[in-house]
Structure 1
Amino acid sequence: MPGESKVLWADSGSTQGGLAGAAFAVNGDARRALTLASTLAAVPRPGEGHTAQLFDILSTLAAADLTAARVAEAHLDARAILHQAGYPARPDQTWGVFAAESAGPAVTATRVGDRWRLDGIKPWCSLAGLLSHALVTARVSGPAGDLGRRLFAVDLRDLGIRVHDDAWVARGLCQVTSGPVDFSAVTADPVGDEGWYQRRPGFAWGGIGVAAVWWGGVVGMARTLYDSTANRTPDQIALAHLGAVDVAVTGSKLALGAAALAIDAGEADGPAGSLLAARVRALVARTVDEVVFRIGHALGPAPLALDARHAQRVADLQLYVRQHHAERDDAALGRMLVARGNAPW
């Protein structure tokens, strides 16, 4: 549990100080973020008894720089999936996970002799132009038709890959380009069998890791509010905003800590893991929205206009947290609760 760990959550004055300093030096640069991510080989994997420490590290990175955390989270998630599948990965490789689906045709995987090939367009492929490798989901086709989704490992230097970096116009996470990628007869290695990617126990855990990054970004913003009290005596309104921010940030911290315990205890597999991830992600996403709102009301335009780090953090986090699909994800959570057949409270 975070409160019992030797590592303090997102605390740059703790034993994570060196990590926070390294993340701060990234300062939104994606190449520096990849270099940092490649040094994190000793970071614990989720579900192996030290998940709270993993969440510590992700939130510490995010409190210092969201680009550093965004890149590291995806790389570490991919490495954890590869380990779970027993697929070898070299230390010099940098990885991403391209699992998003669009309303259009999906990437298809076709077996050709003893190899596989991928064809089609994959949306939301973050850093495809900088990473060396990626895990890519594709629809498997065969004589009987569509056989479902399967995960594949791909060398992104394959000549059949075309990256559309020019599609990314975001002002948040502006160097973490996440545009579409064209796959044309790209050689791929299967990772797990059909459906394994979504069936595996850790499928939902990656989403909670992303929430740990969101929470770290919130901590960075909350510190801006707290630090403002050193420059002038806060009035009643400022104190009310500070207190409300503390409640929201602390509540999300406790939820992430409880989630880490549940993962390590084997209580977050299958549907239980999906339910836990939906709850934690929704709670942290609400915390992001509330903290952005309250800091804006408490401090006005000054930090957005005059504090480059704060302005970038707000832009980065508001974009990143939109991976939570707001009311649509709330509706999905509601369906899970109804399917249980009894009230969960």
Structure 2
Amino acid sequence: MAVRGVRFGGTSRGAEAPGAAPASFDAPALLRAAASCQGDPGPVLALLRVADGTPPVPGAGSTARLWELLASVAAADLTAARAVEPHLDAAAILAQAGVPWPSGTAWGVFAAESPDARLEGTDDGGAWRLDGDKPWCSLAAELDHAVVTAHVPGGRRAFAVDLRQPGVAAHPAPWASRGLSRVPSGPLSFAGVPARPVGGTDWYLRRDGFAWGGIGVAACWFGGAVGLFRTLERSAHRREPDQLAQAWLGEAERLLDSAAAVLLRAADAVDAGTAGWVEAHRARGHVASVCARMLAICGEAMGPGPLAFDEEHARRAADLTVYIRQHHGARDDAGLGRLVAARPADGTEGSW
């Protein structure tokens, strides 16, 4: 089965799935699983478990192709992307820390914090253990391992932990949204659970790869917007489009092209070793804005029908609405503004 891939350059959003991964990572099979999962992450997780070799990681010279793969998965199904993206992020984190990748496993990354939950890491003579609670652990009950951040003396530290061992318990959480409804994101509790340190104290937050991972999430958002565009384009072909329909389609094309250019530029900066949080905030903010506008365009252009009667479109719209809330809007723009304002004011440096 041919699966439409996503590319950031040219006019190939309808091309065959991009070869974004080494031969040991079967990108076409992954895209086929994403296209058939219909909001169920199970088939994608099963495929990740049987994948041979080390997953592709950003910063290794093919970051654009890697993010095209994420976008392609997301264009097929955003729930699939919510399973694949943290798995690949975990692989990148371990690679950046020099930790070997254990094949045959499905991974998550749990780094969220909450005033109502706290996870502590304790060093018992070189043998670390985790105790406490971690919020927002998506798909935790269905995963094998995770990179988890915990509080340690002097800051926070990342740990690789086997989620199948005694002392780990995933708790259900009420989920009112129709978006990402098959991605349970309740808390995990740990009771004296052995864990392996990944990097030193605060390394997880200070490494360049933290920003790179954030752009990878934006690539998934972009893929969701491409999926919306495909539905919008099919709708325009079903009848002779009037000027308004043409205007909406043209705006959507323009928005996707600009977002693809931003992601491609960020990918090049990652591979050049020059990408940090300025690039991440730019890319994430722009892509999130494009996604929000794409959701609005589809509603205006197609009316309530697809949201009411088209299961795939309704699920994609609901999923993307929830997913882009990982961007914090004006707060993230304020973070970008602080970085810009901190640059020298002597006229020798600046964005423009």
CA contact (8 A) 2:48 2:105 kept: no
Structure-2 residue corresponding to 1:152:
159
Superposed CA offset, 1:288-309 (max 9, x none): 1000001100110011111110
Which among 294, 303, 309 is matched to residue 306 of structure 2? 303
Paired with 1:313 and 1:234, the residues of 2 have a C-alpha distance of 24
The share of aligned pairs that are identical, in percent, is 50
CA contact (8 A) 1:124 1:178 kept: yes
Is residue 40 of structure 2 the alignment partner of residue 29 of structure 1?
Answer: yes
Q: How far is the alpha carbon of 1:217 from its aligned partner? A: 0.6
Secondary structure of the corresponding residue to residue 13 of structure 1: coil
Structure-2 residue corresponding to 1:20:
31
Paired with 1:275 and 1:212, the residues of 2 have a C-alpha distance of 16
More displaced stretch, 168-177 vs 31-40:
31-40
Q: For residues 117 and 167 of structure 1, do their structure 2 counterparts lie closer, same or farther at Cα, with a shift above 3 Å needed?
A: farther
Query: Which runs of structure 2 are paired with 1:1-345 in the superposition (5 Å)?
Result: 2-3=8-9, 11=14, 13-15=16-18, 19-38=30-49, 39=51, 41=53, 43-141=55-153, 147-268=154-275, 273-342=276-345, 343-345=350-352
Secondary structure of the corresponding residue to residue 208 of structure 2: coil
How many positions carry a matched residue from both structures?
Answer: 333
CA contact (8 A) 1:19 1:60 kept: no
Stretches of structure 2 that go unaligned for 5 or more consecutive residues are 1-6, 20-27
Q: How far is the alpha carbon of 1:18 from its aligned partner? A: 5.4
CA contact (8 A) 2:56 2:88 kept: no
Amino acid at match of 1:79: A
Q: How far is the alpha carbon of 1:102 from its aligned partner? A: 1.2
Paired with 2:145 and 2:12, the residues of 1 have a C-alpha distance of 30
Q: For residues 263 and 106 of structure 1, do their structure 2 counterparts lie closer, same or farther at Cα, with a shift above 3 Å needed?
A: same
Q: For residues 34 and 264 of structure 1, do their structure 2 counterparts lie closer, same or farther at Cα, with a shift above 3 Å needed?
A: same
Paired with 2:321 and 2:79, the residues of 1 have a C-alpha distance of 13
Structure-2 residue corresponding to 1:144:
none
Q: How far is the alpha carbon of 1:175 from its aligned partner? A: 1.2
Runs of 4+ in 1 over 4 A off after TM superposition: 14-19, 40-43
Superposed CA offset, 1:189-239 (max 9, x none): 111111111222211100000000100110000111111121101111111
TM-score, normalised via structure 1 length:
0.91
Secondary structure of the corresponding residue to residue 154 of structure 1: strand
TM-score, normalised via structure 2 length:
0.90
Paired with 1:182 and 1:168, the residues of 2 have a C-alpha distance of 19
Amino acid at match of 2:173: D
Q: How far is the alpha carbon of 1:87 from its aligned partner? A: 1.4
